[in-house]
Copies of this chain bind each other. A is one copy, B any other.
């Protein structure tokens, strides 16, 4: 049995759960090596079992480190369960209700917590995804429309070895950069240009943002965001609360008078999901740990004018190690 799986099963027993149902594809991928393309069920117990859809049978037999059987109907699941069943917080209410009829059911995030601390192998995959993403951006010639540039960037990532874009590429320019999630339009790019993009390697994601600026006003805002980002990165240490990193970035931007224009949280964990634990936000009181990988991405958005965001990925050791190699100012 692999170490991760063993550790999660131990945590499960510590919580006095007899077994646990895992449904999130990323959690199944994490614990078995198999990434389901259709709904699959992993049942954790001392002898874990994976119930995969018939459509994934050939895949599962090649990649799952856990014994598997073909899933037919929900009643098949019941026979593997014991009195007290752990479930993910993300389970659909409909499934939860069916289960609760026969079992004592309790939510837990033991898999998500385990996933937040990365192994060396996981970090290598994230680094590789990031390397593909950065190479693909440097190969891009900045002319044409936002759509053309996004299409070309995603094409480059594929050719350079990415499984897909890790999320919908944001390629916004001019006044549309004030939309933090601006999807590309058929307009010719103008200044500034905000690109938020990522690649996927071995199911692990990268996530980076650069803003290409031109005018003095843009540079003024850029420097404030950069100051906030650097301050946040410096404040990252094992044992520090996630919300303190958010406060570090936010305080800098607020000092300059732009606090109301920083309309999202400072960062998030990245791995098998593009957004995962921890959350570097106001409300996350959890403490950072060594080997977590998080983004640090403050931004200032001036509606009707423009926006600037700078996002890097960092690996937490005794301090934060920035994983990005691409320059901040491009």
- A54 CB-CB contact with B under 8 Å: yes
Residues 33-89 (chain A) with a chain B CB within 8 angstroms: 37-38, 54-59, 87, 89
Contact between chains at B263 and A180 (CB < 8 Å): no
In the complex, residue of chain B having the shortest beta-carbon distance to the beta carbon of A183: B163
Segment from A6-14, A146-154, A210-218 that makes contact with B: A146-154
A158 and B151 in contact (CB under 8 A), knowing A55-B263, A180-B55, A181-B56? yes
Q: Is A303 an interface residue (CB 8 A)?
A: yes
B181 touches A159 (CB 8 A): no
Question: Which of B107, B148, B181 contacts A94, CB < 8 Å?
Answer: B107
Q: Is the Cβ of A38 less than 8 Å from the Cβ of B164?
A: no
Residue among B54, B58, B90, B151 making CB contact with A155, cutoff 8 Å: B151
- CB within 8 Å of B: which residues of A? 37-38, 54-59, 87, 89-94, 96-97, 107, 147-148, 150-152, 154-155, 158-159, 163-164, 168, 178-181, 183, 263-264, 303
Give A57's nearest chain B residue, CB to CB: B263
Rounded to whole angstroms, the CA-CA distance of A87 and B59 in the bound complex is: 35
Number of copies: 2
| Chain B residues with CB below 8 A from A59, complex form | 179, 181
Question: In this complex, what residue of B is CB-closest to A283?
Answer: B73
Closest-by-CB residue of B relative to A263 is: B54
| Bound Cα distance from A87 to B97, whole angstroms | 13
Are A150 and B158 within 8 A (Cβ)? yes
Ordered by A's residue number, 18 sampled pairs between the chains whose C-beta atoms are within 8 Å are: A37-B180, A37-B181, A54-B264, A55-B180, A55-B181, A56-B181, A57-B263, A58-B179, A58-B303, A87-B93, A93-B96, A93-B107, A96-B96, A147-B159, A148-B159, A152-B155, A163-B168, A163-B183
Check if A92 sits within 8 Å of B94, measured CB to CB. no
Cα separation A37 to B183 with both chains bound (whole Å): 10
Cα distance A62–B150 in the bound complex, in angstroms:
23
Q: Smallest CB–CB gap between A295 and chain B, Å? A: 15
